Amino acid sequence: MPIVATCIDRAVLARQTGRVDSLITDSAGILFVLAANASLWFYLEKRTGWGVFSYFPPLIFIYLVPAIFSNTGVIPLKDPTYDWMGRYLLPMFLTLLLLDVNVKAAIRLMGRGVLVMLAGTLGVVVGAPIALSLVKGGLGPEAWKGYGTLAGSWIGGTGNMAAVSEGLDTPGAEFGLAVIADHAVYLVWLPILLGSKKLAGFFNRFTGASVESQERLKAAAAALSHDKGRVEMRHLLYLIGIASGATFFASELAERLPALPPVLSPSTYRVLIVTSIGIALSFSPARKIPGSHVLAMALVYLFVARMGARASVDGLAGQALPFVGGAYVWILIHGAFLLLAAKLLKADVHTAAIASAANIGGAASAPVVAAYHDERLVPVSILMALLGYAVGNYAAFLAAWLCKLVS
């Protein structure tokens, strides 16, 4: 109770003086708070099976709790620890995420399905500036960065969202709006993707998809699964060495390239360069090292906690409604692009739903949608989501630039 009272007193002092004196200022203490918070929510999800996590996944709490802590004086809003994590942790997890991408297999197996997914990606890029232009009157001057950040999530996933946010130097409040909009839309869009299975007959007649092509895809997908094997200590050393090496080279090169504000800065270059390095490494034997995705996602969620800790809540409430409203317009544009592509390419409803899930929900949601439609398509959904990781940063920075033009 004394700690709670102290936190409240410090929050009042912060409002009066504009300054927060934090209870925890040591870097190890800050890292402990961030890591413990991230661990707690995954532990509760796994251990309890609470239904709340079906609607509010751990990501939301991993972001919000550090935001509460930093705005009430438990941990600082600004600290060199956060700067270090932004400079080194982010490019490391990007490299590890991209090691799993199998571009050749995705294109060979999915064929037209890849084009449907990329059409959905184009819908995200085009929809961002259109949506922002409709609601920008109720948003702040840096809302374009929030929409660019959300584009990263909707094209790739949480890792891309974090990377684009860091590259754009997105303010904490705008990142918070992106997180809110991401999950507000997800709560509506996911049931639509799942429910589309019941419309398979009508949808497939509309697009002209053939039964034979669907069966060939499912048979090829079922033979795709493979296991990298058990993770050993040496594998983690390999991965750390590869990730830190890619981070070093990307950082060195980024500092030597000319800055072209407001989008292209050393931070942006670092994200784009390390993305290119990670994709290149995915064609090498490094792709076969076990444990890359698990380690990458652990770092991603630690990084999301760091972003929450840096978020100031000032001005968040007043902008939430127009920001989310624009996001719903945006998702409809994405859906229209998907429908058009499915019609032109004669894709079935399963392919279209998985393509959208790979964009909007990423690697966490695409297998869920695939398993509901047809379990044989789960490997396809994973390939699509990983392909989203690869194109997510490039396309999201393009979306951010377009948003800046209309803001």
Is pLDDT of 3 > 80? no
Mean pLDDT of the chain: 83
Is pLDDT of 328 > 90? yes
Is pLDDT of 11 > 60? no
User: From CA 238, how far away is CA 258, in angstroms rounded?
Assistant: 33
Is pLDDT of 13 > 50? no
Q: What is the pLDDT of residue 93?
A: 85
User: From CA 172, how far away is CA 309, in angstroms rounded?
Assistant: 8
Is pLDDT of 19 > 50? no
* pTM for the full predicted model: 0.72
Q: Which of 7, 53, 387 is nearest to 187 (CA)?
A: 53
Is pLDDT of 254 > 70? yes
Bridge partners, residue 146, by sequence: none
Is pLDDT of 5 > 50? no
Question: In whole angstroms, how far apart are CA 118 and each of 91, 126, 262, 271, 307?
Answer: 24, 12, 26, 21, 29
Top-confidence residue, 219 or 246:
246
Q: Which of 306, 295, 184 is nearest to 233 (CA)?
A: 295
Is pLDDT of 36 > 90? yes
Of the listed ranges 62-71, 81-90, 361-370, the one predicted with least confidence: 361-370
- CA dihedral angle for residue 37, residue 40, residue 42, residue 46, rounded to 10 degrees: -170
Q: What is the pLDDT of residue 7?
A: 45
Note whether 168 and 155 are within 8 A (CB): no
Question: In whole angstroms, how far apart are CA 274 and each of 8, 143, 150?
Answer: 42, 26, 20
Of the listed ranges 195-209, 254-268, 280-294, the one predicted with least confidence: 254-268
Burial of 65: CB neighbours in 10 Å, binned 0-12, 13-18, 19+:
buried
Calculate mean pLDDT across residues 193-215. 82
Q: What is the pLDDT of residue 236?
A: 94
Amino acid at 257: L
Residue-wise pLDDT for 227-238, tens only, equals 678 899 999 999
Of the listed ranges 31-35, 106-110, 125-129, 362-366, the one predicted with least confidence: 106-110
User: From CA 377, how far away is CA 374, in angstroms rounded?
Assistant: 6
Calculate mean pLDDT across residues 204-220. 73
Q: Which of 120, 200, 138, 131 is nearest to 395 (CA)?
A: 120
Q: What crossing angle do the helices spanning 378-406 and 90-98 adopt, rounded to 10°?
A: 140
Calculate mean pLDDT across residues 367-374. 78
User: From CA 358, how far away is CA 352, in angstroms rounded?
Assistant: 10
The beta-carbon contacts of 373-379 under 8 Å, at least 24 apart in sequence, are 373/197, 373/349, 374/218, 374/350, 376/218, 376/219, 376/221, 376/222, 377/217, 377/218, 377/221, 377/350, 378/221, 378/225, 379/221, 379/222, 379/224, 379/225
Question: In whole angstroms, how far apart are CA 279 and each of 149, 183, 246, 293, 339?
Answer: 21, 28, 11, 14, 29
User: From CA 310, how far away is CA 325, in angstroms rounded?
Assistant: 25
Calculate mean pLDDT across residues 76-93. 88
Is pLDDT of 191 > 80? yes
DSSP E strands, 305-353: none
Calculate mean pLDDT across residues 125-154. 94
Give the length of the chain.
Answer: 407
Burial of 286: CB neighbours in 10 Å, binned 0-12, 13-18, 19+:
middle
Residue-wise pLDDT for 149-185, tens only, equals 999 999 988 878 988 998 898 988 888 899 889 888 8
Domain segments of the chain: what residues? 88-406
Calculate mean pLDDT across residues 87-111. 78
Percent with pLDDT over 90 in the chain: 35
Q: What is the pLDDT of residue 224?
A: 54
Q: What is the pLDDT of residue 18?
A: 39
Q: What is the pLDDT of residue 372?
A: 80
Structure letter (DSSP) for residue 260:
B
Note whether 58 and 302 are within 8 A (CB): no
